[in-house]
Amino acid sequence: MKTQLELAREGIITKQVETIALNEDFDPEVIRKRVALGEIVVANHPKRPQQKVVGIGTGLRTKVNASIGTSSDICDIEMEMRKAKIAEEEGADTLMELSAGGDLDTIRRAVLASTNLPVGTVPLYQAFKETTAKYANPGKLDPEYLFDLIEKQLEDGISFMAIHCGINQYTIERLRKQGYRYGGLVSKGGTFMVSWMDINGKENPLYEQFDRVCALMKKYDAILSLGNGIRAGAIHDSHDRAQMAEMIINCELAELGREMGCQMMVEGPGHVPLDEIEGNIMLEKRMSGNAPYYVLGPIPLDTGAGYDHITAAIGAANSSRHGADLVCYITPAEHLALPNEQDVREGVRATRLAVRIGDIAKYPERREGEKLAAMARRDMRWQDLEELLMFPEAAKNLRQSRMPEHKDTCTMCGDFCAMKKGMEVFKDDISGDKIS
């Protein structure tokens, strides 16, 4: 089976490319060319025909990923299935199943059955969890078992995987020579791989056998998302030598993977001060040959726990504005607890708002919907306004909970409604292009 990348290079416009072009209002040939260049990846597992086709990359709407999954403290498979459905209902584009507690095969398959979204995983989670259960020592992980596990997850229908190929002895040496970090290591998979390398005195098998990783991903036309296991977990660690070493390696691997016909993404930070986000994205795009960039937030503040969905939304709006292609949401529970259903809902909504802000700054031609909403608000056409909003039910319920005496206004201003008074003064002066 040929990958979407290989087919695009042969000049073939697949039905998946046609779907992306239709959904994004593009010429299919433009999408095909960008897929062929590796600037757009296509998430669509061949064994899940009902799965939504999602394009990620240059010129497309910035996509939102929602992450769910159990932990060693909280393992409720029914809740994870509900969280998956809520994420899809709220408009997430992709889902990552990141469970680390319970029967991981059963949980993954249940989540896949409960959503039509493309689903991703981090295979190192299951590898180290099951190795620890078997040997009471994650350092006994067998690389052959890891590769078998990657294929098992792909066989189940996983569309993209965050695989930590960019961690190697060189990146670890950078951590040691810089005196470690203020925020430590925050990637579960990355940290356990660093530990495995330290215990065994060996190179990371995912780096050492990168061609084997790509071959597995190609077999299922899955997207290889080069994980950022050395990402900064504190803004004071942002762009330190260890992070940059991994980023350079991941960008090199993205190029190598494309040469092998594998669909590639690069993953980014992490905790990044607001003034460094643009530079971070510029570096990834330049060094990777414009590979799609998948970022976590980023989070531009270390003291916002409890409201990190807002903190991260600020980072996400900026990252979307400057060229990020897929943004992983952050929920209010980040840094504090395993997210519940309401956390997932709030996380998706905040991130969707953020990337829309970024997209309309990046692509001014996409502001038409904002103008229509403003005109409906000006004219106090409340029902029309609700239909134009991102979250119409929330707006409708809020307004109805505090209805004004005069229904054409709202209780914010009541008798002193600026919109109403403005229309009385200027109703005869509205130019033709400003008539609703």
Q: Judge if 234 and 296 occupy the same domain.
A: yes
Q: Judge if 356 and 386 occupy the same domain.
A: no
Q: Judge if 254 and 279 occupy the same domain.
A: yes
Burial class (CB in 10 A: 0-12, 13-18, 19+), 189: buried
Q: Judge if 347 and 393 occupy the same domain.
A: no
Q: Judge if 333 and 196 occupy the same domain.
A: yes
**pLDDT of residue 21 exceeding 90:** yes
Q: Judge if 101 and 236 occupy the same domain.
A: yes
**What integer is the mean pLDDT of 242-248?**
97
Question: E strand or H helix at 213, and its extent?
Answer: helix 210-219
- Range(s) of the domain holding residue 401: 368-434
pLDDT digits (tens, 9 = 90+) for 52-97: 999 999 999 999 999 999 999 999 999 999 999 999 999 999 999 9
**What integer is the mean pLDDT of 263-273?**
96
Residue 432: pLDDT band (50, 70, 90) is low
Q: Judge if 109 and 175 occupy the same domain.
A: yes
pLDDT digits (tens, 9 = 90+) for 357-368: 999 999 999 999
Distance separating the N- and C-terminal Cα atoms of the chain: 52
Interatomic CA distance for residues 61 and 132, integer angstroms? 41
Helices (H), 55-101: 77-89
Domain boundary among 362, 388, 419: 362
pLDDT digits (tens, 9 = 90+) for 167-209: 999 999 999 999 999 999 999 999 999 999 999 999 999 999 9
pLDDT value, residue 26: 97
Q: Which two tokens stand for residue 344?
A: 């997932």
Interatomic CA distance for residues 313 and 325, integer angstroms? 15
**pLDDT of residue 436 exceeding 80:** no
Nearest to 45, CA basis, from 164, 163, 153, 165:
153
Domain boundary among 300, 332, 362: 362
Q: Judge if 316 and 401 occupy the same domain.
A: no
Q: Judge if 336 and 276 occupy the same domain.
A: yes
**What integer is the mean pLDDT of 278-292?**
98
